A and B are shown apart, each in its own frame.
Chain A
Amino acid sequence: MNERCADLELELTGFAAGELEPALADRVARHLAACAACRAELERELRLRGALRTLPLAAAPAGLGALPPAAARPPRRLPLPPSLGGLAAAAVLVALLAGLPGGRPAGPGETPAAFTADQVAAARRDAAWTLVLAARILERTERNALADVFGQRLPRAVAESLGGPAPTPEGGQG
C-alpha cells in the first residue's frame, strides 16, 4: 500500500455513502481507478454496507415503552391548601418514593415543603413508570426461577430419587 492509499483509505466509507465533498470524491475516484488494492477495499466496504443496510427492522413487543395509564393522564391542577392536608402528605410520599429532589421529610415541628401540582404530576408519572420497570424485572426473575426449578432442579431431584443420572435439559441422559 503506497502513501496515497494511506491518505485516502479512511474516506472509502464516506465515498461509498456519497457523503464526500465533490473535490474529495473526485480525488478518491481517480485513486480507485489506478489502485487495485483500494478497489478491493471498496468492494469489501460495499459488501458490508449491503449486508447491514438491508437488515430487517425487528418489531418491538407491543406495549414496550408505552406510557402507563397513570402517566398518560394529563396532569390535573391540584388544589393545595396552605395548611398540611392529606393530599399534600400523599404528594410528599410519592415524591419520596420517586426520588424527587427536595422530597425531604419534615422534621419535628417543621412545616413540610409545598409541592406544586406539576411536581406532583411528574412524581406520579415517574412512580407509575417505575412500577412498570419493576414489573418487568419481577416477570424476568420469575421466568428464570421457573426455568431453574422445572429445567434443572426438578429433573435432578426426580433422577436422584430414582437412583439414576440426571437427565440433560435436551432430554438425554447427562
Chain B
Amino acid sequence: MDAATYTSLLAEHRDRVFSRALYVLRDREDAEDVTQEAFLRLWRQGDEVDPGKVAGWLARVVHNLCIDQTRRRKVVRTRFGQADPDAVELLPASGPLGDPEWAVRLDQRQQRVLDALATLPVETRSVMMMHYFQGMRLQDVAAALGKTESAVKVQVHRARRSLRAVLADDGDHDSLARRRTG
C-alpha cells in the first residue's frame, strides 16, 4: 500500500474507528492505542486487504484489539490493583463518557444505555457497536467476525434482554416527560 492510499483511508476511517473503540473501552488512551495499532496493521498488511472491504477488515481488527486491550487491563489490575501508589502504570479510572475531556456530548438516554452496556462482556459490546453505531448489517458483522448470522442475532438479542431494565426505564422517562409537558 502506498502512502497516499493509506493517508486517504486514514482520513476516511480514523474517527469512526476511534469512536467505536472509545465507546467499547470507555477509556480515551486505550481507544487511542487501539486506533494506532489498527492503522499500523492496515499499513503493514494493506496490500492483502481488498480495497472494497477495508471497513469490514478494520471492524474485525478493532474488535480483536478491544478484546486484547481489555484482557491486558485485567492483568494489570490483578497484578497491581487500582490503589497501589507505587505502580507506575496505574489504570485510569473509567470516567463518564460525557466528560468534556472525552470530546463527546451524550444525552441522558445515551449515557444510561452506555453505562448499562458497560456491564456486558467486551466482545458483546463490540458486536453491539458494530451493528448499532457503525450501521453494519447483522450478516456483515457475522462475516467480519467469522460467526454465523444466527450467532450474532442471539448475541444481540441476549444483550438487549440484559438491558431491558434501562430500556424500559428509558420509556418511563419519556412518558413522564410527555405527561409533564402535556
Q: A: which residues have CB within 8 A of B?
A: 9-14, 17, 19, 41, 43-45, 47-61, 64-67, 71-74, 125-126, 129, 132-133, 136, 140-141, 144-145, 147-148, 152-153
The 5 closest A-B pairs by CB, nearest first: A52-B132, A65-B39, A60-B18, A44-B167, A51-B113
Known contacts A9-B157, A19-B138; A126/B44 CB under 8 A? yes
Minimum Cβ distance to chain A for residue B67 (Å): 19
| B36/A64 in contact, CB under 8 A | yes
**In the complex, A19 Cα to B137 Cα: how many Å?**
7
| B113/A48 in contact, CB under 8 A | yes
As a 0/1 sequence over residues 1 to 28 of chain B, the CB contacts with chain A under 8 angstroms (1 = contact) are 0110011001000111111001100000
Q: Could you tell me the dominant secondary structure of chain A's interface residues? A: helix
**In the complex, A145 Cα to B7 Cα: how many Å?**
34
Q: Among A13, A136, A152, which residue has its beta carbon within 8 angstroms of that of B131?
A: A13
Q: Among B22, B33, B109, B171, which residue has its beta carbon within 8 angstroms of that of A136?
A: B33
Residue of B whose beta carbon sits closest to that of A136: B36
**Given contacts A64-B32, A125-B43, could you give 13 more A-B pairs where the C-beta distance is less than 8 Å?**
A10-B157, A48-B113, A48-B163, A52-B129, A53-B135, A59-B18, A60-B17, A64-B14, A65-B10, A65-B39, A133-B40, A136-B33, A145-B88
> What are the residues of chain A within 8 A of B137 when measuring CB–CB?
17, 19
> What are the residues of chain A within 8 A of B40 when measuring CB–CB?
65, 129, 133
A-B contact pairs, 16 of them (CB 8 A): A13-B157, A45-B160, A47-B170, A48-B167, A51-B114, A52-B129, A57-B16, A60-B14, A60-B15, A60-B18, A65-B39, A72-B3, A74-B3, A133-B40, A144-B89, A148-B90
As a 0/1 sequence over residues 144 to 177 of chain B, the CB contacts with chain A under 8 angstroms (1 = contact) are 0000001001101100100110011011000000
A-B pairs with CB below 8 Å: how many? 139
**In the complex, A39 Cα to B50 Cα: how many Å?**
41
**In the complex, A10 Cα to B160 Cα: how many Å?**
11
| A64/B35 in contact, CB under 8 A | yes
| A51/B171 in contact, CB under 8 A | no
**In the complex, A51 Cα to B35 Cα: how many Å?**
23
Q: B: which residues have CB within 8 A of A?
A: 2-3, 6-7, 10, 14-19, 22-23, 29, 32-33, 35-36, 38-40, 43-44, 85, 88-90, 102-106, 109-110, 112-114, 128-129, 131-133, 135, 137-139, 150, 153-154, 156-157, 160, 163-164, 167-168, 170-171
| A55/B19 in contact, CB under 8 A | yes
| B43/A129 in contact, CB under 8 A | yes
| B32/A61 in contact, CB under 8 A | yes
| A58/B170 in contact, CB under 8 A | no
> What are the residues of chain A within 8 A of B113 when measuring CB–CB?
47-48, 51-52
| B85/A55 in contact, CB under 8 A | no
Minimum Cβ distance to chain B for residue A81 (Å): 28
Minimum Cβ distance to chain A for residue B42 (Å): 8
> What are the residues of chain A within 8 A of B88 when measuring CB–CB?
141, 144-145, 148
Minimum Cβ distance to chain B for residue A160 (Å): 14
Minimum Cβ distance to chain B for residue A150 (Å): 12
Minimum Cβ distance to chain A for residue B35 (Å): 6
| B85/A58 in contact, CB under 8 A | no
Residue of B whose beta carbon sits closest to that of A145: B88
